[in-house]
Chains A and B, each alone.
Chain A
Amino acid sequence: MALLEVNDLRTHFFTREGTVRAVDGVSFAVEKGRTLGIVGESGCGKSVTALSIMGLIPKPPAKIVSGSVVYDGQNLTSLSERKLEDLRGRKIAMIFQDPMTSLNPTLTIGTQITETIRRHYDVPKSQARKKAIELLEEVRIPRASERLDDYPHRFSGGMRQRVMIAIALSCDPKLLIADEPTTALDVTVQASVLDLLDDLRTEHDMAMIIITHDMGVVAEAADDIIVMYAGQVVEHASTLDLFDRPEHPYTEALLGALPQIEGEGIREGRLTAIPGRPPDLIDPPQACRFGPRCPYAGDDSCTQQQPELRELRKGHWVRSAHPASERVGAARREGAPA
Chain B
Amino acid sequence: MTITDAREALTAEPGASPASGAPIRQSNLWRDAWRRYVRNKAAVVAGTVFVVVLLYCLIAPIASPHDPDAVNFALSSQTPSLEHPFGTDKFGRDLFTRTALGGRVSILIGFGATIAILFIGVVYGAISGFVGGRIDNGLMRFLDALYGLPYLPFAIITLAIIGRTNTWTMMIALSIASWFTTARIVRGQVLTLKENDYVRAAKAVGARWYRILGRHLLPNTLGVLIIAIFLELPGVILGEAFLSFIGLGISPPDPSWGAMAQEGRTVFRSHPTAIIVPSIAIATLVLCANFVADGLRDALDPRTRES
Chain A contact residues, CB within 8 Å of chain B: 54, 56, 60, 85-90, 93-96, 98, 101-108, 115-116, 119-120, 140, 142-143, 145-146, 149-151, 153-156, 158-159, 164, 167-168, 170-171, 188-189, 191-192, 195
Chain A positions within 8 Å of B270 at CB level: none
Q: Which of B12, B26, B27, B220 is the most central at the interface, judged by chain A CB atoms within 10 Å of its CB?
A: B12
> Which of B51-59, B64-72, B196-204, B247-255 lies at the interface with chain A?
B196-204
A103 to B205, CA, bound (A): 12
Contact A105 B205 (CB under 8 A): no
Chain B positions within 8 Å of A93 at CB level: 204-205
Nearest opposing residue in chain A for B305, CB measure: A153
Chain A positions within 8 Å of B133 at CB level: 60
State the main secondary structure of chain B at its contact with A.
helix
A85 to B5, CA, bound (A): 35
Chain A positions within 8 Å of B7 at CB level: 188
How distant is A205 from chain B, measured CB to nearest CB, in Å? 19
Nearest opposing residue in chain B for A177, CB measure: B204
Contact A119 B8 (CB under 8 A): no
Nearest opposing residue in chain A for B204, CB measure: A94
Known: A119-B206, A158-B8, A171-B205. A143 touches B19 (CB 8 A): yes
Nearest opposing residue in chain A for B196, CB measure: A101
What would be 14 A-B contacts, judged by CB atoms less than 8 Å apart? A54-B204, A56-B204, A87-B206, A88-B206, A89-B205, A102-B197, A104-B220, A105-B302, A107-B219, A142-B12, A142-B19, A146-B25, A168-B205, A189-B4
Contact B198 A104 (CB under 8 A): yes
How distant is A119 from chain B, measured CB to nearest CB, in Å? 6
Seed contacts A101-B196, A104-B198; 7 additional CB < 8 Å A-B pairs: A54-B204, A90-B206, A93-B204, A102-B197, A106-B222, A155-B12, A171-B205
How distant is B99 from chain A, measured CB to nearest CB, in Å? 40
Q: Is B208 an interface residue (CB 8 A)?
A: yes
Contact B1 A192 (CB under 8 A): yes
Which residues B274-307 have CB closer than 8 A to chain A? 302-303
User: In the complex, how many residues of chain B place their beta carbon closer than 8 angstroms to a beta carbon of chain A?
Assistant: 38
Contact B203 A56 (CB under 8 A): yes
Contact A102 B198 (CB under 8 A): yes
Nearest opposing residue in chain B for A100, CB measure: B197
Q: Is B216 an interface residue (CB 8 A)?
A: yes
Chain A positions within 8 Å of B145 at CB level: none
Which residues B1-27 have CB closer than 8 A to chain A? 1, 3-5, 7-9, 11-13, 19, 24-27
A86 to B5, CA, bound (A): 35
Known: A88-B205, A94-B204, A115-B215. A192 touches B4 (CB 8 A): yes
How distant is A165 from chain B, measured CB to nearest CB, in Å? 12
Q: Which of B3, B24, B196, B206 is the most central at the interface, judged by chain A CB atoms within 10 Å of its CB?
A: B206
How distant is A311 from chain B, measured CB to nearest CB, in Å? 34
A143 to B16, CA, bound (A): 11
